[in-house]
Structures are given as C-alpha cells and as structure tokens.
Amino acid sequence: MQRLITCILILGFISATFSNAETQVKFFNVMDFGAHGDGTSDDSNAIAKAWQGVCEDQGPASLLIPLSKIFLVKRLNISGPCKTPNVGIKFEGKIVAPSMNEWVGDSFSWIQIFNVNGLTIDADGGSIDGNGSTWWEKCRKCRRPTSLRFHGCNGLTVKSLSMSNSPGAHISVNGLDGALFSQININSPPNSPNTDGFDIAGSKNVAIEDSTLATGDDCIAINGGCSYINATRLVCQGGHGISIGSLGRNQSHETVEEVHVWNCSFIDTTNGARIKTWPGGSGYARKITYEEIILEDVQNSIIIDQFYGIKTPNEVPNKVEDAVKVSEVTFRGFKGTSASAKAINLNCSPSGCFNITLDQIFIVPSKSIKIAFAFCKNMVNGTFVDTVPKVSCV
C-alpha cells in the first residue's frame, strides 16, 4: 500500500512538472534582437523582430522590454494574429519618441498594435514618453500622432502603464470586444492640445479602473459605436472631463449606450460629466450613468450639450429638430465646487432630452465665483431630486 501511494505521488510530481514546463512563459528580450537601449539609437526594428518571435512561438510567449534601459522608437507596428493564445509584453524599461523634427512618414500613430487577441501588457515600472512638447506649439492645428493605438485586440489587458507628453491622444481603443485598463498613469500639461487620455470608438466591454489621467483634453472620450464602457475609481486632472461624444458630426448616425462612470474625481477640469452632440446628427446616447462624483473647481460640472460646435445661429442646420437622441441618463451623488456660475447645463435639442435623472447633487461655488446655478434649454423630461443648485426644468 505504501509503495502504491509513493508511486502515485511520484507520478503526480512528474505530471505537475511537465504541466509547469508546458505553461512556462518564454521571454523574447529585445536586447537579444539588436536593441541598444541607450535612448539615442533607433530600436524600432529590434523590437519588431523580437515581437515576430513572440507571435510565431507555439507556447505562451512574452516580449521583454528590460529594466533600466531607454529605447528610442521612431515608429512601431505590432500585429497579429499570433500562433499562441497566451501572448504578452513585459514592459519594464522606458520608450521615448523622436522629436517632431525627426519624425518620418504620416502623423497618424506612433505605436500601433493590431489584431492581437488575448494580449496582456504588464508595465510595472515601464513608461512611454511621447516628446509632445516638440509638437504642441509648432503643430497646434495640424495632425499630431496618437501615442498608443489598439485596433481589433479582443480580450486585452493593460496594467501599471505610465504615459506622458503625447503629441496627440495618449491611447486609442478601436474595434475591441473586451479590454481592461488598470493602474494607468497619464501625465500631460492641461494646456497641451488634444491630448485625450483615452479615445474609445467602435468597442464594447471596456473597463478603465484605478487610474490617474492628467491631460489637455478629455480624460476619456467615448465615441460612436461604443457600449458597456465602465470607468471606475479614476482621478481626472486638468483637461475636459469624461465625455460621451462628440456624436453626429456632419449629420452622421452614431450610437452610444450602457456607459457607467462611478467613484471618480475631477480636479480643475473644464467639464465634469459631459454628453456632446452636433445638431443635425442622428442615433442615440442612452443608458448612461455618472455616479458618486467628486468635483474640485470644475467648470460645467454636469453638461448635456446638443449644440456642440455651434458658435453662431447661422451654423445650425436647416432641420434643427434632427438630433442624436439623449435619454436614460442619470447623474447621482455629485458633490464639490464649481469654477463656473453655470454648474449644471442641460442644453438639449429642440426635440428634447428624455428620462434625465439628477439625484443627490450638491455643487456649490468655488472661491473664484459667487453663485452656481442650473440652466435648461428646450424640453428636459426627467426627475430632479435633492439638487443644489436647484434644477427647474420642464
């Protein structure tokens, strides 16, 4: 009996050993593929070669960007699909972009990751610097590259990534089903143009959690074709808040639904919770919740703007009643200070906004202003309970 037990234990050990060997991750260190890591030599090709090895490997594999190295990357395209379903990037070093004067090719994107399903980026200690200050003044109105663009990467996980000084948007998320971003730290000056933290479009089941986003534009912009987007425990500093849209530009049809923003703080932002649509568009923005929100010197703490982009009455389309339909929107549990007198702005289209709920709202003037009030335009159908300032919409 003892011998039988011993044999079973040995067989179990051998089985576990083979199992561990089969699941052990193989790392492809970019230094082994010719990267210099000195911050001045272009390491784009070396990183691309290392990624090719990762993507063609049969077992669990990961790209390693090692600690204590600085990698100059002029342009980088990482693409799939890969042979292994378990693919990763272990990101410990620093990646820096060239200056605007050294930029080569179009200015659409800097680092692009396409069609890599099941990708996990573990960036504990890793950082990306977009060298945006070389672009912002010289190229304020021209197209500037997005630093990190994900397209078609279903089942994506990105954690502990630090980014700064993007020329344009920091992270673009497009055409994804399933993504988790956690412990993301984005840091760009509040006057840096169009440096959105996240631009999300055509995606569903995306979560952004436990992150700090200091930007010069939207902390998060949720654009057309998005559903089931969750933003939880975030700090937005500077920039333009968390926005739905803009939607309906050039009379387009766009939809957004099932967006949930919870337990977030806004500090010195030009907007807090915002929905923005262009007159003349179509589609809908519905089933949207902003809840448990802290405000510190925020302009436009709550804003629905269905006249986005319109500066004069002559710019309003002929069919002014045509608009993206805004409905089933809840603002609940807001408290803090407003840096603008118009703390709540429900600027609805002539066709109105429907099922709008404001509940447990306490927004008072900051030291820079004397009063804070709510403004309504056109029909606002909904429920307004326990709100400061008082909301008197019909």
| Residues carrying an active site annotation | 217, 240
Bridge partners, 305 (sequence order):
276, 347
Exposure string (b/e) for 308-332, b if CB count within 10 Å is 16 or more? beeeeeeeeeeeeebbbbbbbbbbb
- Read off the tokens for 196: 């959105």
Report how far residue 29's alpha carbon sits from residue 47's, in angstroms, rounded to the nearest whole number.
Answer: 9
Bridge partners, 17 (sequence order):
none
CA distances from 58 to 61, 86, 108, 184 (A): 8, 9, 32, 30
- Read off the tokens for 91: 């990101």
- Read off the tokens for 329: 């929107």
- Read off the tokens for 243: 């926005």
Report how far residue 106's alpha carbon sits from residue 149's, in angstroms, rounded to the nearest whole number.
Answer: 14
Q: Is 296 exposed, middle or buried (0-12, 13-18, 19+ CB in 10 A)?
A: middle
